[in-house]
Amino acid sequence: MKKLLPVYAILAVAIATAFLAGYYVKGYYASIEMDNYVRNLDALRKENIELREKLSKANEELTSLRSENMELKGKLESLESEISSLMAEVNEKSREVEKLKIMIDESNKSLSTLQNEAKKLKDSLTILRDDKKLLIIINSKIPDDRKGAEQFWRDARELVERVDPSLVQIVDRILYYIDDYFDWYESLSENATKQEVCEWIFSYYESWGAQQYDSLVSKFKSEVYDLIISHINEILVEMKEIP
């Protein structure tokens, strides 16, 4: 029994030591938890203060926005009233514009008619001027030399190409046979005898090219006369149509 007493004493000391150690450890952790709680509480208080400040600012902004909204509402009502007034004025102006458009359309129709008539007269004048030039050509004497005659018909071609392109073909054929004609025409010498003149005249009927040249010249003059008469008749008809 006496031998067991030291053992019990040691156990008692160990238990006491363990109890004390557990108490201090628990207190240590409790202290840490308390510090954390205090820090969290401070953080929450700080956050709460910030939220209150933000809420206060938000309330101020809301109040300001409400005030602005009231002002805008008043301005909107004023604008709606002005818009209604302007719309009524615009509708009135639109009716006036429609009336003016009708008047302008009628004036434009009259102006368009006058412009068309003026254009017809101008075109007719241009045609008559060109016809006058054609008359001068066909009434002019064709040069007796080859070079002069060729230039004469080239000038005529340029004119008829503008007036009536269908006549160009005739002029081109005249230019084609012009050398044949002047080969015959220039074959008579200046000091030719009567016999030579007679032979020269008869040689004309043996020259197909010379005959074609004269025939085409006559045809060209006839076609030009017909063209001018046609132009005059057309112009007379147009003049009768003009009120």
The answer as to whether 43 is a domain residue is no
Separation CA 167–CA 169 (nearest Å): 5
Mean pLDDT of 146-153: 95
197 domain residue, yes or no: yes
* CA nearest to 137, candidates 209, 232, 227, 230: 227
Q: Give the angle 148-152-155 at the CA atoms, nearest 5°.
A: 140
For the chain, the average pLDDT equals 78
Task: Supply 219's token pair.
Answer: 């045809």
Rounded to a whole number of angstroms, the distance between the first and last alpha carbons of the chain is 160
**Looking at the chain, how many residues does it have?**
243
User: What tens digit of pLDDT does each residue of 68-122 get?
Assistant: 656 756 764 665 566 567 567 656 766 876 876 777 667 666 667 666 666 766 7
Site of tokens 């209150």: 52
Domain count, the chain: 1
Determine the pLDDT at residue 76: 45
27 or 32: whose pLDDT is higher? 32
Give domain status of residue 111, yes or no. no
| % of residues, the chain, pLDDT over 90 | 28
Q: What are the strands, taking DSSP E only, across the chain?
A: none
Residue 196 lies in a domain: yes
Q: Is residue 148 assigned to a domain? A: yes
Domain that includes residue 186, residue range? 140-241
pLDDT per position as a tens digit, 183-213: 999 888 888 889 988 999 999 998 999 999 9
pTM greater than 0.75: no
Q: Residue 80 domain-assigned? A: no
Q: What whole-number distance in Å separates Cα of residue 44 and Cα of residue 36?
A: 12
Decide if 7 is inside a domain.
Answer: no
